[in-house]
């Protein structure tokens, strides 16, 4: 549907918190249209890495580029406008219907804005209809089609967590950042979400950066993996390569 997204290039990124180096000179590249997993033990720096990519944290040094665009010190909404959308590890929506939540995602894209549509300006009304139609398509794509008008509070945990993914897609991103998208899900919900991520990548042609604890999911979904340990990137490669890497085994087994 759209042109291939540009590569996301993370170069020599260091993040420090009072005395603690949460990311230490981390570099990796996400090839266009691929799923790139960032894995590592608790406290390794995965969420910090996402917070740098989405503009919530400013690195002490290093850069993040999307194609020709420098993202490094831009505010989160500017980075989102350049096509990088994220989900959060621990946020699960409980307010409104699925449609309401997806329309909030569309709001950011709407030139006329919701204030204008409240005045029933004809163009705003048409844009509103288009946004609603697109929100419905995204709901179908993420397995939420039958629940479009359902209050999210009535959905299963797995469906509710996927509303967060669908909301991020409503920004029409070129790069999607998923922070532990299957955390807390049962086996069935995990498999369903894996399928959705695969469909979304194929259908929308986006690049996905995936932070995930569930190694099964990473092995099934990722084209490439970067392994963090104590803020350092200790390995890069295909899932099979990193799974056999002695330093990765040591980091996970804690020996
Ligand atoms: P992960 O997501 O891999 O579990 P995090 O990126 O959340 O790891 O954390 C990496 C390290 O940075 C941890 O030691 C954590 O305590 C620390 N850290 C993360 N965010 C902050 C913050 N806002 N202030 C201080 N320390 C932080
Ligand atoms: Mg985390």
30 in Cβ contact with 209 (< 8 Å): yes
Mean pLDDT over each residue of the chain, to the nearest integer: 89
DSSP 232-245: EEEEEE-HHHHHH-
The torsion defined by the Cα of 17, 22, 23 and 24, in degrees rounded to 10, comes to: 90
Cα 99 from chain centre = 20
For residue 20 and ligand 1, the question of a CB distance below 6 A is answered with: yes
Return the sign of the alpha-carbon dihedral for residues 169, 174, 180, 181: positive
3-state secondary structure of 118: helix
* Percentage of the chain lying above the pLDDT 70 cut: 90
What does the pLDDT look like over 80-139, one tens digit per residue? 989 999 988 776 677 899 999 999 888 776 654 555 556 667 777 888 899 999 999 999
The b-or-e profile of 143-169 (16+ CB within 10 A means b, else e) is bbeebbeeebeebeebbbbbbbbbbbb
For ligand 1, what atom is nearest to the CA of residue 40? 3
What pLDDT does residue 167 have? 93
Residue 216 DSSP class: H
Distance 43 CA to ligand 1 centre (A): 6
Distance 39 CA to ligand 1 centre (A): 14
**Across residues 244-255, what is the average pLDDT?**
82
3-state secondary structure of 66: strand
DSSP 81-113: HTTEEE--SS----SSBHHHHHHHHHHTT-SSH
Return the sign of the alpha-carbon dihedral for residues 79, 76, 166, 102: negative
Interface ipTM above 0.90: yes
For residue 40 and ligand 1, the question of a CB distance below 6 A is answered with: yes
The torsion angles phi and psi of 153, rounded to 5 degrees, stand at: -60, -20
For residue 46 and ligand 1, the question of a CB distance below 6 A is answered with: yes
Domains of the chain: 8-83+172-253 (3.40.50.300), 95-160 (no CATH)
CA distance 148 to 136: 7
**Across residues 72-82, what is the average pLDDT?**
91
């Amino acid at each position: 549907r759209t042109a291939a997204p540009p590569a996301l290039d993370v170069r020599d990124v260091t993040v420090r918190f009072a005395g603690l180096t949460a990311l230490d000179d981390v570099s990796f590249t996400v090839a266009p249209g691929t799923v790139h997993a960032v894995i590592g033990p608790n406290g390794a720096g995965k969420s910090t890495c996402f917070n740098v990519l989405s503009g919530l944290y400013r690195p002490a040094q290093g850069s993040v580029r999307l194609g020709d665009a420098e993202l490094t010190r831009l505010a989160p909404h500017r980075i989102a406008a350049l096509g990088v959308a994220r989900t959060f590890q621990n946020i699960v929506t409980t307010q409104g219907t699925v449609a309401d939540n997806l329309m909030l995602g569309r709001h950011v894209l709407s030139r006329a804005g919701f204030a204008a549509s409240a005045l029933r300006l004809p163009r705003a009304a048409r844009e509103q209809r288009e946004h609603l139609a697109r929100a419905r398509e995204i709901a179908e794509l993420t397995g939420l089609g039958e629940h479009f008008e359902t209050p999210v509070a009535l959905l299963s945990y797995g469906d509710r967590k996927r509303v967060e993914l669908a909301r991020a897609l409503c920004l029409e991103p070129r790069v999607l950042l998923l922070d532990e998208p299957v955390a807390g899900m049962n086996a069935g919900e995990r498999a369903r979400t894996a399928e959705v991520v695969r469909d979304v990548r194929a259908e929308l042609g986006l690049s996905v950066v995936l932070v995930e604890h569930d190694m099964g999911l990473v092995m099934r979904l990722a084209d490439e993996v970067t392994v963090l340990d104590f803020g350092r990137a200790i390995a890069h490669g295909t899932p099979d390569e990193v799974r056999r890497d002695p330093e990765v085994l040591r980091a996970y087994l804690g020996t």
